[in-house]
Structure 1
């Protein structure tokens, strides 16, 4: 259920800007609050992308790739098992084949058997899979010290492309491309894995052009912008910050998808999700398309998702997408049951500690390893505390997935635990807001105590204010403004969709679906009637007809039987 109790509503600060008066005043206010200073900040043309040559080690990487193509090496892509990893793999395979590589294959670790990244076990599988001359990791590899060593001992060259934060020791790969390497001069550290490999392919194309490869080989120089649908999907699904570079990627990818100039797999996934191509938003990629692709890696094998993205047959893509859709339904059922168990764990922990602890480490013997990240995220939203959910792995090992709140860098918090207690964690890695880890079952209690100890040093009382930032009030709620706001994006992490607040009369309410609250509202002057909906939210006891309510909402367009109406998507509901 959506949690609204305890949320704090605040107004966003409006920054100084030089945006032109031709921009709608509401949109201009929204942009200014997000740090947009001038029209150049909204220029999403591809020539605004920073040069790929700014990335550390990029020249070494593309020289290695060029050699692999010219000498017809066996190239193996080792991918991650989430949507970012799947799209990264598809970009790498498609781009390399377009540039003349004839022996390109891919391998995805099975999370239940091999674990994450390029491990020695995966190198062993690779040797029987295709006997590669070159392994390219996508969306993984920065922590694969042992795996890279195993590959080099087997005379396999290794190129790591990743975006995760590096540890103290880097793998001894032939080249590492990662904008989060220390002192990397690339101006955006927020690239997803798919953004990193796309940049590598841009640099490779330029290098091959300079070397005369396309004229010598008779290959046609490819237009890599045709891969931006994949880049957009992976970028949004991985919830990276939408800085200007990522907004350029997503804007162009969305444009391709809306005009159906996307790969067959994305077309099929959108059809399964019953989204409108013409009105598709980044939100649809994140909450409708991405989860269906992720379902393969969570419950079975992400090779299914990658196959869906690589086929050019719409019929084959639809078959894959239908299977992914079925897996996603199964995932929802598993997640729902796990969430109920997690809530019961919360009650026990709260009882034991006499109130909410600073964070939660939750474990259940029956939990599914592929779904713990979703459960951690849901519970984090409920309690507004850092949450780590654990599931059994092999033998006595537990796998954990962590989700954080603003103000706590969760990967750095795990690093502090590992530094203070070197024997507690087997492995860990991740980002500021999400991380993965593994430990022995016998260490869970000690880890929980160590983790809470780190939280005491990192979090103050103000950290637990679940703040909703509003872009102010509106004076009109019409389709024209809703459309202006919709196309004013792409909106997403770090560049949030506009949210407004206001007072309304409550004329009626009812439950739709299983747990969504539908509201009938009237503006205070009585001049306009509006519909609102709060997803996964049941009516509180205080909700009564005829009262004045305070809302925070997004202005949305509800399309039903080709009829378009304004709808308020409610994120905060309180009595006035």
Structure 2
């Protein structure tokens, strides 16, 4: 559990005129000053970082301005995930607004792979007389392709957010906040966030030159729906600029969703206007990603670009069907890996899991790797092999930098790229055994056993008898949740189970009361991914849970989401505690919960 920060809590409580409960939750997230709290609770575009501080931004904006005035052909080159698709759509829409000669291209995951390649300079660039290529969410490692473009007289502007090494591609401009010489401090942006910063700067550049005197200047807040989708889907920290983007984007979607998002919400069962970041992460993003994983990502781009409601509905239905297929294939691959792990248990005695198979579609390997990391809590690399070449996805655990790990094995790879937590790679099939040995040994030497135990940080002790509507509203003020801003987790003790039952395939619904004999109707609780009835007990000794509003048919009711519980006389989860005046209990001894 997190240690209380008494001075910060008191300072925030006085400034915000809030409960110690909310002040403690803010302090737990290192929001310990009044200015940080104000910006966190009321995200505003006034507080955005300066987009012009990015290295090469001015060069990029000037070149795009010239291309617009000269009616040069501009190609937006994207990526096949939600981040890359939304970034491509965002810039394409803006350039269409200003009358530019613009088109977009998204490569096929299976046949073309990630990033700008020499073949793309031949087609679609040279074949379509393109004068300027703008990459989004890619390009930082496209040295050969950029060189070929220069030789063909085509300028290249790279916008990206992936880790970049020197020497950089010899592009006209490399707009990437992860450049070692970039002073912007915006390294947490997703690819669509970098693209949005480019558009913000371009709009201002055009304004300063009188471009909007005879045109309607677009309100870029309306593009935040795209930025929110890509930012949440790419799992970058929802702090700072990203929090502003996602909060603004969710507000746009809940007020005036574009036809594509509206159709996708309907087909996903999302109640309007109650969409949140969790809906984006677990309902919208998987369906948008399914296009690139199972077919072609241009279907997702068309959905986001269309203004035709009927066309949007048909495209949303296509994505929904592709997502169902994706889930089926994903489960098949996961079952195969589980069987292999049973037959080859030595994989679980290594510092990482590295596996390859010719029958695995590369498009779903990132999801499967994430599920395996969650199950076995160690880095996972899964590789799909075809025609002597393997394309892989890798996912990691906190404390192990995946990008640096792959970099240490770079001479065994054709190429790689990504972040500390997620990466992609390409490798010759014959070198996979060598890579497996090197990578697993290196991971084993850097990861200790404590890192291989999943942990859940608990914000504090909260008895369910102390739950009130006002308290839930305070929790909701911390939204949007995501990487870097997790949903608060609480611990309760002595809970009475009034009723319980399994609904659907694996959901347990319960009615809970405080075990101290409190009156009242009780509070609804739900626990996912369970398939067995409760043990012979009507009490929970301790419960780890989240707390939120449940919206249904226009009504809202309190709901507990149970993460874990102790039903028998096991060792308690709690350390020494101290109750405050509003029922919230900060914890004196810092600890994390590792399960009963």
TM range, normalised to the smaller chain? over 0.9
Instruction: Work out whether 1:35 is the aligned partner of 2:60.
Output: no
1:521-576, Cα deviation, whole Å (9 max, x unpaired): 33121325233222223349x83322434221111223334443222112223345
Report how many aligned residue pairs link the two structures. 555
CA contact (8 A) 2:141 2:169 kept: yes
Tell me the equivalent position of 2:352.
Answer: 359
- Structure 1 residues 47-56 or 91-100, which shifts more? 91-100
Q: Measure how far apart 1:325 and its partner are.
A: 1.0
Provide the C-alpha distance between the structure 2 equivalents of 1:65 and 1:21, rounded to a whole number of angstroms.
Answer: 45
1:14-52, Cα deviation, whole Å (9 max, x unpaired): 475332242343222111100112233324111100111
Provide the C-alpha distance between the structure 2 equivalents of 1:487 and 1:314, rounded to a whole number of angstroms.
Answer: 33
Matched ranges for 1:154-303 at <5 A: 154-215=152-213, 218-260=214-256, 262-303=257-298
Instruction: Work out whether 1:398 is the aligned partner of 2:394.
Output: no
Tell me the equivalent position of 1:369.
Answer: 362
CA contact (8 A) 2:155 2:171 kept: yes
Change (3 A) 1:180 1:93: same
Provide the C-alpha distance between the structure 2 equivalents of 1:105 and 1:337, rounded to a whole number of angstroms.
Answer: 37
Q: Measure how far apart 1:196 and its partner are.
A: 0.2
Tell me the equivalent position of 1:4.
Answer: none
Tell me the equivalent position of 2:502.
Answer: 511
CA contact (8 A) 2:287 2:319 kept: yes
Q: Measure how far apart 1:487 and its partner are.
A: 3.7
For structure 2, list consecutive stretches of 5 or more residues without a partner in the other structure. Answer: 571-596
Tell me the equivalent position of 2:585.
Answer: none
Tell me the equivalent position of 2:326.
Answer: 331
Matched ranges for 1:48-197 at <5 A: 48-101=47-100, 103-127=101-125, 130-197=128-195
TM-score, with structure 2 as normaliser: 0.89
Instruction: Work out whether 1:414 is the aligned partner of 2:406.
Output: yes
Change (3 A) 1:16 1:134: farther
Change (3 A) 1:334 1:549: farther
Report the secondary structure of 2:420's partner residue.
coil
CA contact (8 A) 1:485 1:498 kept: yes
Matched ranges for 1:411-560 at <5 A: 411-418=403-410, 422=411, 424-475=412-463, 476-503=466-493, 504-527=495-518, 529-539=522-532, 543-560=535-552
1:114-160, Cα deviation, whole Å (9 max, x unpaired): 11010112222213663211110001111111111122222111000
CA contact (8 A) 2:350 2:444 kept: no
Change (3 A) 1:568 1:457: same
Provide the C-alpha distance between the structure 1 equivalents of 2:477 and 2:285, rounded to a whole number of angstroms.
Answer: 20
Provide the C-alpha distance between the structure 2 equivalents of 1:253 and 1:366, rounded to a whole number of angstroms.
Answer: 39
Provide the C-alpha distance between the structure 1 equivalents of 2:241 and 2:90, rounded to a whole number of angstroms.
Answer: 17
Provide the C-alpha distance between the structure 1 equivalents of 2:472 and 2:440, rounded to a whole number of angstroms.
Answer: 44
Q: Measure how far apart 1:508 and its partner are.
A: 4.4
Provide the C-alpha distance between the structure 2 equivalents of 1:168 and 1:449, rounded to a whole number of angstroms.
Answer: 28
TM-score, with structure 1 as normaliser: 0.92
Report the secondary structure of 1:572's partner residue.
strand
Change (3 A) 1:507 1:346: farther
CA contact (8 A) 1:100 1:219 kept: no
Tell me the equivalent position of 1:384.
Answer: 377
Q: Measure how far apart 1:178 and its partner are.
A: 0.6
Provide the C-alpha distance between the structure 1 equivalents of 2:343 and 2:351, rounded to a whole number of angstroms.
Answer: 15
Provide the C-alpha distance between the structure 1 equivalents of 2:151 and 2:16, rounded to a whole number of angstroms.
Answer: 63
Q: CA RMSD in A?
A: 1.9
CA contact (8 A) 2:502 2:509 kept: yes
Change (3 A) 1:469 1:211: same
Tell me the equivalent position of 2:578.
Answer: none
CA contact (8 A) 1:80 1:109 kept: yes
Report the secondary structure of 1:408's partner residue.
coil
Q: Measure how far apart 1:407 and its partner are.
A: 0.2
Q: Measure how far apart 1:266 and its partner are.
A: 1.4
Q: Measure how far apart 1:12 and its partner are.
A: 5.6
Report the secondary structure of 2:425's partner residue.
strand
Provide the C-alpha distance between the structure 2 equivalents of 1:34 and 1:127, rounded to a whole number of angstroms.
Answer: 46
Provide the C-alpha distance between the structure 2 equivalents of 1:94 and 1:185, rounded to a whole number of angstroms.
Answer: 28
Q: Measure how far apart 1:294 and its partner are.
A: 0.6
Q: Measure how far apart 1:457 and its partner are.
A: 3.0
Tell me the equivalent position of 2:576.
Answer: none
Q: Measure how far apart 1:267 and its partner are.
A: 1.5
Change (3 A) 1:29 1:417: same
CA contact (8 A) 2:139 2:159 kept: yes
CA contact (8 A) 1:507 1:545 kept: no
CA contact (8 A) 1:557 1:567 kept: yes
Provide the C-alpha distance between the structure 1 equivalents of 2:392 and 2:550, rounded to a whole number of angstroms.
Answer: 38
For structure 1, list consecutive stretches of 5 or more residues without a partner in the other structure. Answer: 1-9
Report the secondary structure of 1:370's partner residue.
helix
1:493-532, Cα deviation, whole Å (9 max, x unpaired): 0111111111223444433222223334331213252332
Tell me the equivalent position of 1:7.
Answer: none
1:353-375, Cα deviation, whole Å (9 max, x unpaired): 6x532210122332111100000
CA contact (8 A) 2:396 2:402 kept: yes
Report the secondary structure of 1:113's partner residue.
coil
CA contact (8 A) 1:15 1:35 kept: no
Report the secondary structure of 1:470's partner residue.
coil
